[in-house]
A = this chain, B = another copy of it.
Amino acid sequence: MLSTMQDVPLQIRRIMEHGLNRHSTATVDTAEPGGLRTSTFAEIGAGAARLAHALKELGTGDGDRVATFMWNNAEHLEVYLAAPSMGAVLHPLNIRLPGDQVVFIANHAEDTVVVVDNSLLPLFAPLLPRMETVRHVIVNGPGELDAPEGVTVHDYATLLEGRPATYDWPDLDERQAAAMCYTSGTTGDPKGVVYSHRSIYLHTLSLVAPDVFDLSFRDKVLAIVPQFHVLSWGLPYAAFLTGCSLSMPDRFLTPEPLAGFVKASRPNKGAGVPTVWQGLLGYVKATPDADISSLTSAVIGGSACPPVLMDAYDEMGITLLHAWGMTEMSPLGSLARPPRGADADAVRAHRLTQGRFIASVESRLIGPDGSVLPNDGASVGELEVRGPWITASYYRADDPEKFHDGWLRTGDVGHISPDGYLTLTDRAKDVIKSGGEWISSVELENHLMAHPAVAEAAVVGVPDEKWGERPLAAVVLRPGMTADYAELRDFLGGEIARWQLPERWTTVPEIPKTSVGKFDKKVIRNQAAQGLLDIKKI
């Protein structure tokens, strides 16, 4: 039996129209040198329509990829609205990736048009000649760019000038591609995820809920998280869906100009990665006339939130809310608001988890033997997720290991409490598989680094005839200290189950790190395999 309901496809166009028809006076502040400029939703909607007319004239058709190489600003928002609404595919390029990767991604996605901020031309210009499918570059703001053969360069404002402020947006299949982002995996080529109108619409509806980002037309949100990073966690679309105003910092992400922008724009909520909040904190503490008092809460994600950062913001009356997600998840999976009736200790403990899964995100933990583990807050397994805004594959790239019976393998290991709070403990590749059980390398490392003689420590799995794998502890000693492995082992024994304690120990001058400063355990594993480490067994 079918329903009698209307068949209205979920489309980004409708999110835009809602913002325009109900919230035309909501605003977007874009940071500028020493100040800001304010655009209304009505102006941004008109800009999106003009851009769509221009893109159409440039030959942009259904499904064509329209890339951006931009900061967070009003014009970037216009591309966010115009490209998907007209049937094209929005593709924000990550300006922070190495040039070779940007070029690889633009070619792999077959981007046809790129909209570039003039402030990013020095970064973009050397890459353009290697972008094989780009035919048009639209520069936002005054600037010079040499066009390679076959490429036409346009000025954003000039291109839009005189065009109609409305556009006859088409009805589209809601499963059609609307936008795409590439993961910046540390191994292998970057891989693309293609979001649909449907997935973005559902993600947006879910993002605004009181237990998630809690967005209302009474809010103004500081979008620190870049628009080139998983669609700014969905904030641009959430703004048009709810009518909340936005504060867009453009390129002013260092503490001083960012603090000045917050003081001028006065957002009450925010979203960004820990490092930016950390930088802002230091500046505000040291600067008497800094004023970020308009902020009441901010979502923090991208990496774990240091407790000390959370405490420092608490003292300023700003609640940091820890969220977890992935590019493959649009990105939102969970967000850490404490449960009803929690006491102060429980509030803090819950706020430091990866958070509670939000509705429409299903989860399961897969144990070392492949079985589904209970959500008992103790059983540790690899996390798999499922839901309408989670990817089922990568764009034109085969990676069957990332998928499992229709679920996405997150590559994260952790446990889930009976009331749905997720705690991640390891990356799956760093877990040590010992006799059908898992040992958390991160847990061992954290406890080891609490020992006064230890400056740094990394634990990796090494092959073991009897157990399959066993932990090898690599420690960096503090100056003047000597290694007493038995003592370190006893020290661990106070916290860790006996069967998980490492028998193999080595001392290294430093722990190898990746370009973003994370432990590069792959290097240690290779050194051990090649017999380059002086390993003692105790």
Chain A interface residues toward B at CB < 8 A: 1-8, 10, 14-15, 17-18, 21-25, 62-63, 89, 175-178, 192-196, 198-199, 202, 205-206, 208-211, 214-218, 241-243, 245, 337, 339-340, 356-357, 359-360, 362-363, 375, 386-395, 406, 408, 418-420
Contacts and interface: CB of A to CB of B under 8 A. Distances in A.
Nearest to A9: B388
Contact of A5 (B6, B17, B206, B392): B392
B4 A394 contact: yes
B177 A22 contact: no
Copies in the complex: 2
Nearest to A361: B18
B22 A419 contact: yes
A193 B392 contact: no
28 contacts: A1-B63, A2-B194, A3-B175, A3-B176, A4-B392, A4-B393, A4-B394, A5-B199, A5-B391, A5-B392, A6-B387, A6-B388, A6-B408, A7-B392, A8-B390, A10-B202, A18-B359, A21-B357, A21-B375, A22-B356, A22-B357, A24-B419, A208-B209, A208-B210, A210-B210, A211-B218, A241-B359, A245-B340
Name the residue among A63, A245, A420 with the largest chain B CB count within 10 angstroms: A420
The 3 closest A-B pairs by CB, nearest first: A22-B420, A3-B196, A1-B63
Nearest to A211: B216
A358 to B, nearest CB: 9
Given A22-B420, A206-B205, A356-B22, A194 B6 contact: no
Name the residue among A178, A360, A387, A390 with the largest chain B CB count within 10 angstroms: A360
Contacts of A23: 419-420
A423 to B, nearest CB: 14
Contacts of A337: 217-218
B216 A5 contact: no
B359 A8 contact: no
Contact of A17 (B1, B194, B362): B362
Nearest to A340: B218
A538 B360 CA distance: 66
A215 B210 contact: yes
A178 B1 CA distance: 9
Contacts of A393: 4
B359 A242 contact: yes
Contacts of A202: 10, 205
A386 to B, nearest CB: 6
Contact of A388 (B8, B176, B214): B8
A8 B25 CA distance: 36
A8 B211 contact: no
A169 to B, nearest CB: 13
A381 B481 CA distance: 84
B211 A242 contact: yes
Contacts of A17: 362
Given A22-B419, A205-B205, A218-B340, A1 B194 contact: yes
A390 B21 contact: no
A218 to B, nearest CB: 5
Contact of A3 (B7, B177, B363): B177
Nearest to A15: B359
A175 B360 CA distance: 17
Given A22-B357, A202-B205, A217-B211, A177 B2 contact: yes
Contact of A390 (B6, B14, B194, B375): B6
A205 B211 CA distance: 12
A217 B394 CA distance: 34
Nearest to A22: B420
Contacts of A391: 4-6
A5 B194 contact: yes
Given A218-B337, A218-B340, 15 more contacts: A1-B62, A1-B176, A4-B194, A4-B392, A5-B388, A6-B387, A6-B406, A21-B357, A21-B363, A205-B209, A205-B359, A210-B215, A210-B242, A211-B216, A211-B218
A53 to B, nearest CB: 22
